[in-house]
Chain A
Amino acid sequence: MKEAVDNALDACEEAGILPDLSVEIRNHESEECTIIVEDNGPGIIKQQIPHIFGRLLYGSRFHAVRQTRGQQGIGISAVVLYGQLTTGKHAQIMSKIAADRPAVVTSLAIDTSKNRGEVVAQEVQHWDKPNGTRIEVTINANYRNGKRFVYEYLQSTSIVNPHARITFKDAEGQTAVFERTADTLPPKCVEIQPHPYGVELGTLIKMAKEAKSRKLASFLKTDFCSMGDRTADAVCQEAQLDRNLNPKELSRDQLAQLHKAFKKVKMMSPPTECLSPIGEMLIKRSLKNETQEISPECIVTASRPPAVFSGNPFQVEVGIVYGGKLPKDKSVRLMRFANRIPLLYQQGDCASTAAIASMDWRRYGFDQPNGVGVPTGPAIFLTHLCSTQIPYTSESKEAIADIEEIENEVRLAFRECARKVQHHINKKVRRVKTREKFDLITKILPEIAKKSAHMLDKPVPSLDKVITRIMDVVWIEDAIEYEKVKRTPGKAMQAKLGTDLAQLKDDGGWITKSSILIVNYKNKPQRFSLYALIPKDAVIGTITPQPTKVTPDYIRWNLESIDPTNKLDVYFELAGLNKGDFDENDLYVQGINPSYVIGADQWEGE
């Protein structure tokens, strides 16, 4: 199933179609179960079907490197073969390539001696879908044992593929839908030439044989990335090979020399456009969507800039879901992904686990005996590694090997996330305390005044001055609301400052409304500047009062002076975000002693 889902997602993305997958499992009485995976991909022409589904290890790409799912797992053909060997049943593949073409149903067997798929029967059939592929394989397996894993696998897949919609129908006939949270496909992965640091000797030999260049130097420059004239010369010199040699005529030993020389010459890192990270906002959105029942306290994500190990570009993205109904006394749940594929097994051997375990989580409020190991606390940790070459520990491809560069990046990303979580918690604790004081001055103190006045038969005294003495802070409170507006098709637009709401409505989606209340509970008038951070993709709508400065990252107000016990309302609207994308204001103040202020931190500059 995993193979089929991966292939389907790859196929859809390559064809620029938003994937809509349906997975069904049917349990037979005997130890057999049937797996059906259907997609809305481009379909496969009938001549190709035996090759794709019937040949082991077919389709290995040329030397160009690119981030794909396909490099993982055993391959769909192995599944077809396994089904054939254990149940004697042939795989049924239905595929349709265009709305005006009929669907072709192929019954496929694999001839193991020739490593080739054989068409047992092929017929034409009507299919409602305009295009897509459906594969049905019966295998010998106990579905009941794996039941939880199938669900988890699909849920996890949906989290890292926010653009995909997956419907799952289990053997008991229950249906679960993992809805998409993004309407755009991830940008297509660009192919790059292999980087000399990452190329294996065998591949180098093969590349040399098939080289189109007649000279060694130009072979290096055209078939590898990060190779300029100077670097190519340096490599030739290091390998003690003439730059004019014909690559096709190089001996194995000469190529081995060349391979060694690669490692000794300093080169530029490979380009990183070839990576397709999910993005902080999208990870947050999917996590939010999939953890609704837990109602977590906060979800934070962090993306590291691309980095390189042995010539392979990679990028780490992480997320933390914190609080809510997650158990406080259990180990943090880890979710690991590589190139948008969930890794379900061998958690203990994985570099991401090691990186997490090597951090001291106690300082971030988690339980962790001796400051090592996977911490305990109400949280889910997500790690996504994308790379042109995922370094697995073994053929089963379930754990990432312990590469120092990767572990470092994972650690840095989690550190950033953990800081955000801690910031959030601290802020909350402070707010609860202030909220208590607020109760005190609004409810209890007036009662005390009333009661004492009543006993003495005197008028109730004014409390303003006592209130400022008790609170002695400037209090900032904010609330965020969302308003659904009509959706009309159209591209996200760059609205200018002060854009009318009606205009924004044309863009459709949700309007995020942020209201900030500032109350001066100090005994003197206060005057300061307020900054509100805004997310990168947001479009700013109405702002009151008139802001002093607006940048893509923040809004700044130089507020007018606020008298004791007076308040001031600040309001702004954001469009271009989904409901819940912006769920917490990040407020800063300047020009006032930050210890006077509750609800905002000192502005540290941009």
Chain B
Amino acid sequence: MAEKDYKEVISKIDSIAQKVYSDLTKAEIPHLNLSTRTKANIRFDDNLNVWKYGKQTTERSAMSLDGAYMLLRTMYLVDFIKEMINQKKSSTLRETYYISEGWNLAKFSSQDESDLLAEDLEVITGCMREDFKLRPEEDGARVIGNLVIEEVTRNNAKKRIHCQDDVGDAGYGIPYNVEKEKLSFKQIDADFVMAIETGGMFDRLVENGFDTDSRAILVHLKGQPARSTRRFIKRLSEEKQLPVLVFTDCDPWSFRIYGSVAYGAIKTAHISEYLATPSAQYLGVTPSDIINYKLPTDTLTPEDIHALKSELDDPRFQDQFWKHEIKLQLEIGKKSEQQALAKYGLDYVTDTYLPEKLVELGLMKK
């Protein structure tokens, strides 16, 4: 792996300390500004074709107790990152959280807090988490399909892996770093990428040989997909010009999974252009499918209903298709799972449902 130049990262990190220091010497209350990371502050970027943060900013100021703690933690975290860069080390987000145990007042009270602050630093500096030598836990998202990947292993050797022949039933595990210096796509013979929410459905499609029969690259999203999984899908789609289909349960949370794959997540809108695949299409299960396929259902919980309503004014879900489907789901008051298709037998999903949907989307002929 080529040694990265961290000079710029260090100067950006120092600029944070510099800002706070100069506030203090100018007798100003120290503060940092960063883009507001909420639904109300994402705008569609026509150039990048993804959703990015708008102009609203949030001030982290030492005026309030919470703000002051935040600034102190920021100081500690940037100091820690600088040290890691200098010592050529890296740590997982979880390790960072535990490291903060030794930071006295600046200690994080939960990992969510430290993860969010790492994201804040990305937003402030425009660097990526990886630049800070911070990495997520291995999330084990996996891939099966007619695809050869070349990965630079920890021994700095290049290794080629065929994602059908060289892997077991669990598939190829996506590493946390999927950038070019680490991973490249060598050979591919497939018609589309299918991103699947649940492990159960992924395994069903593998067992039924859907990847070979339908010439598909199957990617398991494992719920809300990790950055590396989204980046992997994006590179696959862009570099190999493959259409991407997202196949999830039918509930508001699954729609959000699709949103983060296709449009970019609200939390990471500052790096949407790296992670989002604007061409990704939603395959199902849609609320209309619940009716058309007479699927077994559960009643929407109050949380579901609240989430659906919130999606109605989410700028990412404003097109005709989503408006119609979300309203329909609120109307019927039901939700359903991918695996509910087993109502008609184990092969129904590969023999009937998916072919019909692919025809509908124009990816397969009748």
Contact = CB atoms under 8 A, between A and B. Distances in A.
B65 A448 contact: no
B187 to A, nearest CB: 48
Interface in B1-53: 14, 17-18, 20-21, 23-25, 27-30
Contacts of B68: 440, 444-445, 448
A455 B65 contact: no
Contacts of B29: 466, 469-470
Given A439-B65, A451-B79, A444 B72 contact: yes
A327 to B, nearest CB: 30
Interface residues of A, number: 23
Interface stretch (A114-122, A146-154, A457-465): A457-465
A456 B104 CA distance: 21
B125 to A, nearest CB: 14
B79 A448 contact: no
B21 A453 contact: yes
A266 interface: no
Contacts of B71: 444, 448
A137 B77 CA distance: 79
A449 B75 CA distance: 9
Contact of B17 (A439, A452, A463): A452
B157 interface: no
A436 interface: yes
B282 to A, nearest CB: 46
Contact of A463 (B24, B75, B82, B106): B24
A461 B21 contact: yes
B69 interface: yes
B75 A451 contact: yes
Nearest to A437: B65
Nearest to A449: B24
Given A463-B24, A469-B29, A452 B75 contact: yes
Contact of B18 (A451, A456, A466, A469): A456
Nearest to B83: A455
B105 A447 contact: yes
A463 B21 CA distance: 11
Interface in A579-596: none
A443 interface: yes
Contacts of B24: 448-449, 452, 461, 463, 466
A454 interface: yes
A439 B62 CA distance: 12
B76 interface: yes
A267 to B, nearest CB: 64
Contact of A455 (B17, B25, B63, B64): B17
B318 to A, nearest CB: 42
Contact of B14 (A436, A449, A455, A465): A455
A440 B68 CA distance: 7
Which of A447, A452, A456 has the most C-beta atoms of chain B within 10 angstroms of its own C-beta? Answer: A452
Given A436-B65, A455-B14, A455-B79, A465 B27 contact: yes
A466 B21 CA distance: 12
9 contacts: A444-B62, A444-B71, A452-B20, A452-B24, A455-B75, A455-B79, A455-B82, A461-B24, A469-B27
Interface of A: 436-437, 439-440, 443-445, 447-449, 451-456, 458, 461, 463, 465-466, 469-470
Give me the 5 closest cross-chain CB pairs, A-B, nearest first.
A465-B27, A451-B75, A455-B17, A452-B21, A444-B68
Given A439-B65, A451-B17, 16 more contacts: A440-B64, A444-B71, A448-B24, A448-B62, A448-B72, A449-B21, A451-B75, A452-B21, A453-B21, A455-B75, A456-B18, A458-B21, A463-B24, A466-B24, A466-B30, A470-B29
